[in-house]
Structure 1
Amino acid sequence: MAFKNESDAKAYWKENLALMLKLLVVWFVVSYGFGILLVDVLNEIRFFGFKLGFWFAQQGSIITFIVLIFIYVRSMAKLDNKYEVHED
């Protein structure tokens, strides 16, 4: 990766780390918060015949993780284009 200058490199990594932190917070809230901490509250709600807390623990956190991967890939492609370090 070749940046135009040092300030672009620092800005790129700052945005990259901010994006990763946001996505990791979402994943943590969904997997740990909904799947473990709030499971009893969410189990009072039904989702396709299953208790919602159980669904988050078994399927929701995995699906959320996969969606977050696609969001990360798309966001990084935009960030690479912004700083002109994209691969052709």
Structure 2
Amino acid sequence: MSAESTDVRDRYWQKTRNLTILVLILWAFFALIIPTLITVLNTVTFLGFPLGYYMIAQGSLIAFVLLIWFQNWRQDAIDDEFGFGDEG
């Protein structure tokens, strides 16, 4: 394997790893941090519901779906940048 292809592979995995770390940090925020703040968030209402309840019942689920979409979109861009994307 040439030094150039090793460098390309290393940069590809670095970008992929950084994306994964970012998504996991955001996931942990919505899955672990927001639920611990529920009593503080319940002092505010959103659409007639306490904000803590809304964030657990709907907000976190919306955030998880957006995280999945974001990671897929960015990983496709990274794959295309380094020539690993789908051609068909």
Asked whether the two chains share a fold, i.e. TM above 0.5, the reply is yes
Cα offsets for 1:30-50 (capped at 9, x unmatched): 22111x211111001111111
Note the residue ranges of structure 1 that are not aligned, 5 or more in a row. none
User: 2:49 matched to 1:50?
Assistant: yes
Higher-Rg member (1/2): 2
Aligned length: 84
Cα offsets for 1:37-78 (capped at 9, x unmatched): 111110011111111111111111111010011111110111
Provide the residue aligned with 2:21 in structure 1: 21
Equivalence map 1:3-82=2 (5 Å): 5-34=5-34, 36-82=35-81
The alpha carbon displacement at 1:13 in A equals: 1.0
Give the ranges of 4+ consecutive aligned residues of structure 1 lying more than 4 Å apart after TM superposition. Answer: none
RMSD, aligned α-carbons: 1.2
1:80–1:86 CA contact under 8 A, matched in 2:
yes
Note the residue ranges of structure 2 that are not aligned, 5 or more in a row. none
Q: Percent identity?
A: 26
TM-score (norm 1): 0.87
Q: Which amino acid aligns with 1:33?
A: I
TM-score (norm 2): 0.87
